[in-house]
Amino acid sequence: MNDLGLKSNATRIVQARFGREPGALFFNRELSWLEFNRRVLNEALDPSNPLLERLKFLSIFSTNLDEFFMIRVSGLKEQIAENVAKLSPDGMSAGEQLRAIRERVRPMLVEQMRCLEEEVMPGLAAEGIRICGFSSIGDKERQRLNDYFATHIFPVLTPQAVDISHPFPFISNLCLNFGLMVEPPRIPAKYPAKHIFEGRRFVRVKLPPNVARLVPVDESDTRFVLLDELVASNIGSLFPNMRSQNPHLFRITRDADIEIREDEAGDILRTMERELRHQKRFSFPVRMEIADHMPDDMLQLLAGSIGLTEQDVFRVKGFLNIPDLMGLYSLDRPELKDTPITYSIPSAIAAFPNCFDAIRKSDIFLHHPYTAYTTVTDFIDAAAEDDKVQAIKICLYRTGKNSPVIKSLMKASQNGKQVAALVELKARFDEENNIEWARLLENEGVHVIYGMRGLKTHSKVTLVIRNEDDALRRYVHIATGNYNPFTSKIYTDAGILTCDPEIGADATDLFNFLTGYSYQTEFRQLLVAPINLRERLIEMIRRETQNAIDGKTSRIIAKANSLTDDRIITELYRASQAGVRIDLIIRGICMLRPGVPGLSENIRVISIVGRFLEHSRVFYFLNDGKEDLYIGSADWMHRNLDRRVEAVVPIRDVSIRRYIIDKLLPAYLKDNVNSGRLLSNGEYERVQNGDPGFDSQLWFVEKDV
């Protein structure tokens, strides 16, 4: 901490260099993220999107907000609880940020609910897809649902009363609950143990999370009732001979940021398992959502018992937990969804009997989801089966469930190949999945490494060593996205398959660094965080700045998920002041303030939010015609450049370079359908839709890449 304990040294340096207050130099990180999520909400508000896609965006907006509260809001509340006097780079205290967050979130929630209840649900009803009130269906249907309740739901419900002998129960993260008051009728004076039943009591009933929220009314699968309505209509069966009042839904969001003391962890796998168990039971609450009609006395009881203030409570006038409606998205109604895309296989792969022959011929560019992800999984599976392959090494950050990659690695080990997998146990929200995969891989003889002390391994690299003509050749897949076939269909990512000797040698050194803690300080071609990536990026930005000063041609184009690193922002401001034209395609958080006269008037920032989640990272530097082009796993954030192992690779193949520079990046910059332009006040304006409009994602769908 610096002498004031308020601002980072980098922030003070930026402020001194440009002579402006922090708020004039940086957007607030948290508020910038909320503006990104507002753009997700805008996709739901857009009537030109199909109805089920609009419902999907409403769900994504809510899921994003859940994670935001679990990680970012919890961090701010922790600062306040621990009396940490720390200002954000834009000069706001934790308390000021929390107030600003609430002020921005509440109107967005109102707009989200208006969209759902006035547009999306009526639209689906007009298409024959309805959520019916329990009282509105016929007697026979109600009886069938009541029978379903008695058989499948009632046995797993556990009412938990609160009284002197029953303390307030632990409320699980993100689970739906009923709160209600119960009291006995008039009890005869001679009734045994009469005192046990006297008085009103609060009762919590947790809705079973493993039962679908949408319960079909009949076999048509187009009419549903809500699980909570079904439980509410049968609530009396939980309290025989008692009077129960109307139940009210509520939901708690808890801190989900796991921190482990790696210097004290003798076994990181067991430590992570222990921390996950501890988190589920003891993580502190940060938000409570309640049904709008919940009475004030119940609200006060809940908030006081859980440990939240009224500022942390969000009344929901409408459907609570919109992601539960995503069960409707699985319905076979293609006319209510985006047109499915046809995934392509690179022609270079299809022209050869095996992928290794194709890669030896030339590097192969992959652009997902337009390029079928089977290109990657088939490459790994081919390595597992190929008799000439001696070893496979891979970094696994998020793999998803039922991963074909994991199965291929186990098969390779069974086939006698040396297999090493770095499984990052600290991948947020995937900790349990990765622990399970690590156990399975170890049981099959795979050498499993659980990340590095003090660093998350976020790089996306596979190295295959193959014996060819009595010599070893290294094949490398390096990419911007995770080895997750499911998300590969909804995220845009880029990657290459190459047998470039220098990149292969660098990949070998990288894995030795990861698995053996080698003291690696240099790489031939790769830029690796935290070793040389930050320094090289700053060097290339400064080179463009000097080129502009010297009258040479200069240009920077960067595509990433987030831009928050103040040192990188400082260099971009200096480049702009020197006259460098800079285009930034930043999907989410951007703390750089563009378009400020005398500071950043040469910087344009756009965000692409559309059918697919933009996830690829591409960095281009004109360098007076001697162009540098990179793709990789790193965003321009402190954590990526200093606290993670990231791998960024130069694109050396001439045809791939020309495609990315002349086609891919210009397509994003030309987009006037999915694109929002960041203004100097922190808001986004929709890029004016020309005639015709240009949708970069649709263009990639239609183009044979």
Residues recognised as catalytic: 458
What is the separation of C-alpha 299 from the centre of its chain, rounded to a whole number of angstroms?
31
Backbone torsions φ then ψ of 5, nearest 5 degrees: 70, 20
Query: What is the rounded (10 degree) CA torsion for 190, 195, 201, 204?
Result: -100
Which one-letter DSSP state was computed for residue 172? P
Indicate the SS3 state at residue 512. Answer: helix
Name the strand (E) or helix (H) holding 30: helix 29-45
Helix runs in 215-267, H state only: 227-233
Indicate the SS3 state at residue 290. Answer: strand
Contact 59, 116 (CB under 8 A): no
Neighbours of 118 (CB within 10 A): 11
Per-residue buried b or exposed e for 634-668, using 16+ beta carbons within 10 Å of the residue's own CB:
bbbbbbbbeebbbbbbbbebeebbebbbeebbebb
Neighbours of 271 (CB within 10 A): 17
Beta strands in 147-280 (DSSP E): 159-162, 176-183, 201-206, 214-216, 223-226, 243-244, 248-254
Contact 602, 614 (CB under 8 A): no
Beta strands in 433-542 (DSSP E): 447-449, 456-457, 461-468, 471-479, 491-498, 527-529
The span from the CA of 90 to the CA of 36, in Å, is: 18
Closest CA to 377 of 499, 492, 486: 486
